[in-house]
Chain A
């Protein structure tokens, strides 16, 4: 039973991730007043990469270099199982929000390991940036999660289960409709952007200065795995935002349309932020997250403690 849920969840997230990355590229194209790629483009990319040669650089640590993509993909799959399994499997599914946060950090760590093992200075610069990003965005993200839990706890559901968070919001309204909720939403959208490595915060993969940065030495199937992991995160993080603050997702009757609308709006919001901002330097990113964003998140936490 549990293993069935695992494969179902991973399949759903991979399929949704491919569709989502197409939405991302299509909306980007529309913003730039062009037509954009056909709907099967992400599938074609992955299929092509799986059929290509795997090159291992001469001065790399080949073991870590080739295992890192698998580690990242495994982490993303486990996170998908916890997140989607809880949405479709009900409250009895193992794993809560803390496990989910740990598992969603694994792809970033896998990127760091792979880049450090690849033996290329460009990748290592990308890895140091990825590390700094990880240190900067995790703190505000955790504060927002605590804020949501405190708000839900005032209603008498003070455990860390994803299901009970959704149940609380279905009873007494979305968490975002309060001062602390709105602050939390803003912080969460910023951290989502950073976790996905999208444009204002894409310093680790900067195409123009680092030639792909962390993934510049990867080719063929390992690159396909990294891309797939990224697509899965692109699908999971908006769902996580939806679960935490926007009342979750349900799949019964007409509410399925409402769920899809919520998801697409979140994706388009992320893509529009990506398309209308320039890239920040890594020191600017750290200053932004440890300064204003953390201060905002703490303000939200204090307001939530007073029940606002």
Chain B
């Protein structure tokens, strides 16, 4: 295994991207970072700047207002990076998909921004902390 890939698997720093969510998934993400679940065991750390991040945790049904911001944010993230779609809204826009202001699920949005992006999916409404940890571990093993 290449050393940089080993490093990426052993210390994924996450940045929390809220793209018009209802805040339930965001609360679950904050729960994951509390001492109870202790994700620092796997080297996972919350960072304040997208330039430090290796994984973007995206929540919410993406609307027109946040799309340009997300595009800029993805370009600011140092590659290689992984994008996580957390929760049903980021996966499929759920019941908001026919709304006038929704541009679609994360998968379609990422096709426009970067076709080669690595995307991992964690379903749930909201996704449970255990599900988020399991999703991150499975995605890292698949790298």
Closest to A45 in B: B11
Given the complex, which residues of B lie within 8 Å of A217, measured CB to CB? 49, 51
The interface size bin for chain B is: 20 to 34
Interchain residue pairs with CB less than 8 A apart (22): A25-B40, A34-B35, A34-B38, A34-B40, A34-B41, A36-B38, A37-B40, A44-B43, A46-B7, A47-B3, A47-B4, A47-B7, A48-B4, A48-B10, A51-B7, A53-B79, A55-B76, A207-B48, A210-B48, A211-B48, A219-B52, A219-B78
A50 within 8 A of B: yes
- Which residues on the A side are within 8 Å of B7 (C-beta)? 44-51
CB neighbours of B78 from chain A (8 A): 52-55, 219-220
Give chain A's interface residues, CB within 8 Å of chain B: 25, 29, 32-38, 40-41, 44-55, 207-208, 210-212, 215-220, 223
In the complex, are the beta carbons of A37 and B41 less than 8 A apart?
Answer: yes
Taking the nearest CB of chain B, how far is it from the CB of A90, in angstroms? 37
User: Which residue of the partner chain B has the closest CB to A211?
Assistant: B48
Contact B8 A48 (CB under 8 A): yes
Contact indicator B38/A216 (Cβ below 8 Å): no
B35 proximity list for chain A (CB < 8 A): 32-34
B54: interface (CB < 8 Å):
yes
Are B43 and A45 in touch, CB under 8 angstroms? yes
Question: CA A174 – CA B5 in complex, angstroms?
Answer: 48
Q: Which of B8, B40, B49 has the most CB of A within 10 A?
A: B49
B3: chain A residues within 8 A (beta carbon):
47, 51
A34-B40, A219-B51 known; A40-B10 Cβ under 8 A: yes
Residues of chain B touching chain A, judged by Cβ–Cβ distance below 8 Å, are 2-8, 10-11, 35-36, 38, 40-41, 43, 47-49, 51-52, 54, 76, 78-80
The CA of A32 and the CA of B35, in the complex, are separated in Å by 7
Known contacts A29-B38, A36-B41: A223-B52 contact under CB 8 Å: yes
Q: In the assembled complex, how far is the CB of residue B76 from the closest CB belonging to chain A, in whole angstroms?
A: 7
With known contacts A36-B38, A44-B10, A53-B78, A216–B4 Cβ distance under 8 A = no
- A35 close to B52 (CB less than 8 A): no
Q: Which 6 A-B pairs have the closest CB atoms?
A: A51-B4, A48-B7, A211-B48, A44-B10, A47-B7, A34-B38
Q: Is the CB of A216 within 8 A of B48?
A: yes
Interface of chain A, main secondary structure: loop
Interface centre among A45, A47, A210, A216 (most CB of B within 10 A): A47
Q: For the complex, what is the distance from the CA of A51 to the CA of B8, rounded to whole Å?
A: 9
Give the distance in Å from the alpha carbon of A54 to the alpha carbon of B52 in the complex. 10
Q: Are B8 and A41 in contact, with the CB atoms below 8 A?
A: no
Establish whether residues B40 and A29, one from each chain, have CB atoms under 8 Å apart when the complex forms: yes
Alpha-carbon gap, A287 to B58, bound state (A): 42
- B51 with A44: CB separation less than 8 A: no
Residues of chain B lying within 8 A (CB to CB) of residue A219: 51-52, 78
Q: How far is the CA of A172 from the CA of B114 in the complex (A)?
A: 68
A274 CB, min distance to chain B CBs, angstroms: 15
Rounded to whole angstroms, the CA-CA distance of A40 and B60 in the bound complex is 35
Q: Is the CB of A35 within 8 A of B41?
A: yes
CB contacts (< 8 Å) of B54 on chain A: these are: 48, 52
Chain B residue at minimal CB-CB distance from A41? B43
A45 to chain B, nearest CB (A): 5
Which of A35, A44, A45, A51 contacts B38, CB < 8 Å?
A35
CB < 8 Å neighbour of A55 from B10, B47, B51: B51
Q: Which residue of A lies closest to B46 (CB)?
A: A207
A38 B51 Cβ-Cβ under 8 A: no
- Are A50 and B38 in touch, CB under 8 angstroms? no
- Option from B4, B11, B40 in Cβ contact (under 8 Å) with A36: B40
Judging by beta carbons under 8 Å apart, are A212 and B4 in contact? no
